[in-house]
Amino acid sequence: MVVAEAALFLDEIMPEAPRDLQDLIEQGDAGLAAVREAVDRGLAVGAELSPVSELRHSSAVLRPAQVIAIGANYAAHASELKLRSETAMTIFSLWPNSLAAHGATTTWAGDLATQVDYEAELGVIIGKPARGVHARDALDYVWGYTVVNDITARDIQFSEAQWSRCKSFDGFTPTGPVVVTADEIPDPQDLWLTTNLDGRILQDASTNEMVRSVADIIEYLSRSATVPAGTLISTGSPGGAGYSRNPQVFLRDGSTVTVTIEGIGSLTTHCRVI
C-alpha cells in the first residue's frame, strides 16, 4: 500500500496479506478494512517504508476479471478521428496480455504497425458484481481508479471492423502506477488528464468532457450482463490524438510517453520498435 510517496509492503505486516489487488477486491469491505488497520498499526510502530520512486512496478491490475474499453467517449476525440457518435455506447475488450507496468518498455514490430498512437484514459475498477445498477448508485460499485494509456495501432484500427486487436498488442495497455481507492476521488468527472510525449503536451482535458460519465457507463454495461468484481473499465480518451494532428505524431522507437491524471499519478511508458 502506498502511503504518500512511500510504500508499505503488506506481507511484512500482515500474516495473511492479500496476494494481489484482485484478491483484496474479492475480500470485500472487510478485506480493505483489515488492510487499513494493519497499515495504521505498522505506521504506529515505525514499520519500514520504501520510497515509491525506487520501486519497480507491475501493472496496477494483474488478474482483472475482464478489461472493457469505451470508444469515442469524448466528443473532441470522436470528431478528430471522424468516428460517428452512436446512440449506443461503443464497447470493446482489451486482451490481458496487453497489460503493462509504469516505467516498462512496450515493444512492437515496425513492419506490422507504423501509426502507433497514445490515449490518456481514466481507469475504473469495479469492486463488487454490478447487475442492473442505476446510474445514481453506480459509483458505489467502484473500488478504485487508475491511469490507463490505451495505446493504439491506428493503421490496424482503421483496416478492421473491430478495435480489440489494434489495442491489444503486448504492452499496449499500461496501467498505474497505483490504484487510488474510490473514497479518495470525490468526483471522477472532475479530474484533469494530460499526455506528455517526449516533453510535449499533446492531450490536456478534463473528465467532465466525457460524453457518458463513469456512472452512466456502469449503468449501461450492467443492464445486459453482470460486471464482475475486479473488472477494469477504460473510459475513453479526450481530443489531441497524434493521428489527427498535422503533421501526424506517433510513438516511435525511443519515445517516452507519460499520462497523468490529477489525484492519481503519472504513468510512463518507453517505446521500442523492432
- Do 195 and 262 lie in a common domain? yes
- Do 45 and 168 lie in a common domain? no
**Residues 229-259 pLDDT 10s:** 999 999 999 999 999 899 999 999 999 999 9
Q: Could you tell me if residue 62 is inside a domain?
A: no
CATH number at residue 157: 3.90.850.10
Q: Could you tell me if residue 209 is inside a domain?
A: yes
pLDDT, average across residues 112-131 = 97
Q: Could you tell me if residue 21 is inside a domain?
A: yes
- Rounded (10°) CA dihedral 257, 261, 264, 265: 30
Phi first, then psi: give them for residue 15, nearest 5 degrees: -65, -30
Lowest mean pLDDT among 30-39, 67-76, 94-103: 67-76
More confidently predicted of 2 and 50? 50
CA distance 152 to 235: 15
- Do 71 and 193 lie in a common domain? yes
User: Distances in Å between the alpha carbon of 239 and those of 24, 50, 81?
Assistant: 35, 37, 9
With 60 as the cut, is the pLDDT of residue 183 above it? yes
- Do 127 and 243 lie in a common domain? yes
With 90 as the cut, is the pLDDT of residue 82 above it? no
What total of structural domains would you count in the chain? 2
Q: Could you tell me if residue 47 is inside a domain?
A: yes
pTM, two decimals, is 0.94
DSSP state of 56: P
pLDDT, average across residues 174-193 = 97
Q: Could you tell me if residue 61 is inside a domain?
A: no
Q: Could you tell me if residue 31 is inside a domain?
A: yes
Which one, of 67, 65, 61, lies nearest residue 100 by Cα?
61
CA distance 153 to 155: 6
Domain range for 39 is 2-54
- Do 23 and 101 lie in a common domain? no
- Do 42 and 139 lie in a common domain? no
Contact 249, 85 (CB under 8 A): no
Residue 264 in 3-state DSSP? coil
- 176: phi > 0 → left, psi -120 to 50 → alpha, else beta; which? left
- Please write down the HEC assignment for all residues of 179-240: CEEHHHCCCCCCCEEEEEECCEEEEEEEHHHECCCHHHHHHHHHHHCCECCCCEEECCCCCC
Q: Is the peptide bond between 247 and the residue preceding it cis, with omega within 30 degrees of 0?
A: yes
Which one, of 173, 204, 146, 177, lies nearest residue 267 by Cα?
177
Query: pLDDT value at position 74?
Result: 87
- Do 11 and 98 lie in a common domain? no
Query: pLDDT value at position 175?
Result: 98
Q: Could you tell me if residue 213 is inside a domain?
A: yes
**Residue 208: how many other CB atoms lie within 10 Å:** 12
